[in-house]
Each structure stands twice: as structure tokens, then as C-alpha cells.
Structure 1
Amino acid sequence: MPVPMALGPFMFESLSFGFNGLKRDLDVQWASNQVLGSLDLLQWMGGSGDAVTIEGVIFPEEFGGLGTMEGLRAMSIGGAVLPLVSLAGNVYGLHVVTSVGEDQSYHDRYGMPRMNVFRIGLRRFAGGSFSPVSIAGALFGG
């Protein structure tokens, strides 16, 4: 089964733990310095944040995936830093999970949701080293 994207050991697959969208917001800061008789000069102050939101749907009754959500929650509570990569070759860098949201609906008689819409909020991690070796280690538990 193709894995279009991976967040550390969590593989987004087409059925069990799939995603329908990725949103990315990059914030950079520019300081404005007033100059007499001219336009304000702008000075680049650097980036202040790179946030990613991954949205998807899980159908637990047919394909599973709720255990993956619990694993993702556990790693986020533990402060794990995870690489985000796509099958297309995009390496988004190291990220931390800042939020995990779910909208569970269509519950069966045991209380198990038949549909679970999820949102995972990520923020780019600026510290530490980042290399293909570190990505492989995080993906494959090395």
C-alpha cells in the first residue's frame, strides 16, 4: 500500500491512516525603520514559525487507525521530535506535534466511532541536527 507521507514512524496510508490535506503557514518577520524623505527601510528579522496542519479521516470499523492516533498522542505528550517527509520527495524537516484534534461520529452500539476526522498541528523544530540519517533513524526506529 503506498505511503504518501510519513511523520516519524506514523505512515499516512490511503486507507487506514489517510490524510486529505496539508496546510502550511510560514511566518517571517520584517522590521520597519523610518527614513526621512523616503520609504521605510525594511530589515529582515528571521523566521518566527513554520506551522503545518494535516487533516484526514479514519474509518476505524473498516480499516482501523485509532491505535495510531493514540500512539501519536503519546509521542506528542512525550515531546518527540519527528521528521515529516512525503513520497514525492518533499522533506519538510523536523517537527513537534502541537495539537491533535478529532471529531468522532456515527458511533456503533459499543461506542466505537465509524468515522473519525482528525487534525494534527505541527510546528517546525529549529533545534538539533537535521540530516537524511536522522530522518531514517526516526522513521525506522534507529
Structure 2
Amino acid sequence: MSATMQMRLGPDVVFDLPTLQYDAFKESMEARIATIDTLGGVPTQQHYGWQRTIDLSGVRFPLDQGGVTPLDGLRAMIRSGAAVLMTDSAGHVWGEWVVKSLSVDSSQFVAGNAPARQAWSLSLVCDRE
């Protein structure tokens, strides 16, 4: 693995320092609980699993960092809906994840309508650990 790599998502997306570096990493886990009404009593709660999410965000400068194409792999993952393996630079396997959303805020346009700055955020949902 590259010395500048932070994470790899599937075979095609590498979060690394020169092209697609994240500046913020937020991990959350939420219990999935359903409320079940009972006849004449207090509703009861039924735990039926959990959901783990990771939110990544960063700012990239496409003119200096490989153009706009590094985000294309994430867009393709959203279209496919497939779960892909995520690993980090230490070799830790995080399990399989699905890309839930990608948001890109492009600004500071130059000749040819190319963005000089892109703030991006990505939300991943764990499919299996």
C-alpha cells in the first residue's frame, strides 16, 4: 500500500494525499428499534439490528490533483449499489460498505468551466463486517 494512502474502497477508489484526501472522518452506529403498540399498555421496543455509517469529507483542488476523475469512481459505486470492501493503510479490513451519498460543491471556476476547488462529502453504510 502507498505511503500516502488513507483508505481504499473497492478496487477503484483510493483515498490518498495527492488526489482524494479526506480531512474529516466520522463514524456512527445506531440501533434499529421498532415501537410495537400493545393492547391497553405501554408500547414495547423491539431491537432488530443496528446500522453503522461512516461520513468522510475533504477539499480537493482538481487542477493540481488529477482533475475531476477521482470522484467518478464514487459516482459509479452509487449507480451500482454494490457493497465493496474497505481497507485502510495499516491493512485493517473494515468490511463491505455501500456508498449512500456523495455531495460535491465545486467553486472557483477557471477557463473551460473547470472547478479549481471541490469540497466533497461521502456517506457510507456498512453492509457486512
Q: Please give the TM-score of this superposition, normalised by the length of structure 2.
A: 0.79
Give the deviation of 1:92 after TM superposition: 2.0
Where in structure 2 are the equivalents of 1:96-115 lying within 5 Å?
Answer: 96-115=98-117
Where in structure 2 are the equivalents of 1:88-127 lying within 5 Å?
Answer: 88-126=90-128
Aligned to 2:27: 24
Where in structure 2 are the equivalents of 1:1-142 lying within 5 Å?
Answer: 1-9=3-11, 10-29=13-32, 45-126=47-128
Higher strand proportion, which one?
2
Give the deviation of 1:46 after TM superposition: 4.8
Give the deviation of 1:8 after TM superposition: 1.1
Gap regions ≥5 residues in structure 2: 36-44
Distance 1:4 1:109, change over 3 A: same
Higher helix proportion, which one?
1
Distance 1:87 1:44, change over 3 A: farther
CA distances 1:60-118 after superposition (whole Å, capped 9, x unpaired) = 10111521211210121011211122113443211101101011111102110111111
Aligned to 1:137: none
Q: Following the alignment from structure 1 to structure 2, what is the Cα–Cα distance between the partners of residues 78 and 29? A: 25
For the 8 Å contact 1:58–1:65, the answer to whether it is kept is no
Equivalenced residue count is 118
Instruction: Supply the RMSD in Å over aligned alpha carbons.
Output: 2.3
What amino acid maps onto 1:15 in structure 2? P
What amino acid maps onto 1:22 in structure 2? F
For the 8 Å contact 2:19–2:70, the answer to whether it is kept is no
Q: Following the alignment from structure 1 to structure 2, what is the Cα–Cα distance between the partners of residues 21 and 6? A: 16
Aligned to 1:38: none
For the 8 Å contact 1:76–1:98, the answer to whether it is kept is yes
Instruction: Work out the percentage of aligned pairs sharing the same amino acid.
Output: 28
Q: Please give the TM-score of this superposition, normalised by the length of structure 1.
A: 0.72
For the 8 Å contact 1:24–1:51, the answer to whether it is kept is yes
For the 8 Å contact 2:20–2:70, the answer to whether it is kept is yes
Q: Following the alignment from structure 1 to structure 2, what is the Cα–Cα distance between the partners of residues 96 and 65? A: 24
Gap regions ≥5 residues in structure 1: 33-42, 131-142
